[in-house]
Structure 1
Amino acid sequence: MSAFSVSCHGPFLVAEFAAPQSMLSWSLTRPGFVTARKVAWLHVRNDDLGPDVDAEAFLDTRMTAAGHGDAVHLMTSRAVSNHEAATATVGDASASCLATVGLGNAGRVGAAPQAAARAGTINLLAHCGRPLTEAGLIEALSIATEARTAAIMDLCWQVRDGVATGTGTDCIVVAAPARGAGERFAGLHTDIGAVIGRAVYDAVLRAGKQWIEEQRHAGMFALAPAAAAEIR
């Protein structure tokens, strides 16, 4: 069972917790370590963010006007109705993930940067049911990022330099209860790391498959031939 409620009223997707959570992200408007009860996505279109628009100010203004000024903010060109959620439990550790996935500006890590041909990004919230220290949140963020990358690689979406590993504008938020003694470790050999990885992988894989199916129907299919049957 997810630790947060989800509401989707375009152009906003909001995950809301009953109590404040410790969060870590590279959100455009509220990066780093923060305490918040909400994570909010804003769906934007190409015309919203022209070359003369301050994206940070635009996002903050829109979120504040909608009553989400105190949330951790995410921004995506993916219609927020196309979100996926997943949960996982191992032992007494649990985790939940909410994700939106678009691969329009996908790339491969280590490749030379290129201008995005199309809009498209991955935004996700990964929540751990146990409190985490700052070090634990940092490790949880690394696990969520690894799980995101594993899911995208398993989708086999092709870019110029090989199979995509993410996009140039991804953003990940990790969260955990703000009260209680925090767990320091959240790596691959812990129950916490296992549930975060499982929830993120499952949500991103499902959301990515949905996006790929849309591209297939639009005639923009770029999946590796050997993997096509796996995605169906």
Structure 2
Amino acid sequence: MTSAPAVLPAAVLWDMDGTIVDTEPYWMAAEQAIAEEYGGTWTHDDAMALVGSDLLVSGAYIKDRLGLAFTPEEIVEMLLDSVVAQVRHAVPWRDGARELLLDLHEAGVPCALVTMSYQRLVAPILEHLPPETFRVIVTGDMVDQGKPHPEPYLTAAASLGVEPGECVAVEDSPTGATSAVAAGCRVLVVPNHVPVPPGPGLVFRDTLEELTPAELGRL
């Protein structure tokens, strides 16, 4: 008796920072550097509060916290300058992420990148992946409302021509998980720097290592 063929997800929608690549320490270093340059105080709690946030939200938070004269947009560009330079030096892949992306690509499962980072940070990371690894890329500078609003994930699913409920989103933060659940996705959470509370629609795993496309389809 032959087993039934594996049911694969219609699409997998990926967060980037903290999920595919562990760039959160890069962001934290950039935030700390701005605080030191302009004589402000920046704490670990401040850094944790911004994990997964829309970049303009982060820029506004840093402006207010440090009392800077720069606009949030200018602060975002300062952060990006630092993080892009660090990524060009070394891409910090999370365990199993690149391998799962390649397996999904080989299995014909469309993937979208759904990140609050901007395109100029995404580009140097994509250089290390095969062309068309992501059929759709949604960045923070492409949406009106960033995570935790559902717009980023709704935009990605619509661009792929699939229903959010047929997709699996992969996230690492409460902000991102909230966005994906609100969009109607099934969500695989692989926590990283901040804990994610349990909730409806969330499945947890410690690592992406040895995870298969078929296992994603069973979520």
Q: Which has more helix, going by share of residues?
A: 2
Q: Which has more strand, going by share of residues?
A: 1
Instruction: Answer 1 or 2: higher relative contact order, Cα 8 Å, separation at least 6.
Output: 2
Scaled by the length of structure 1, what TM-score is found? 0.27
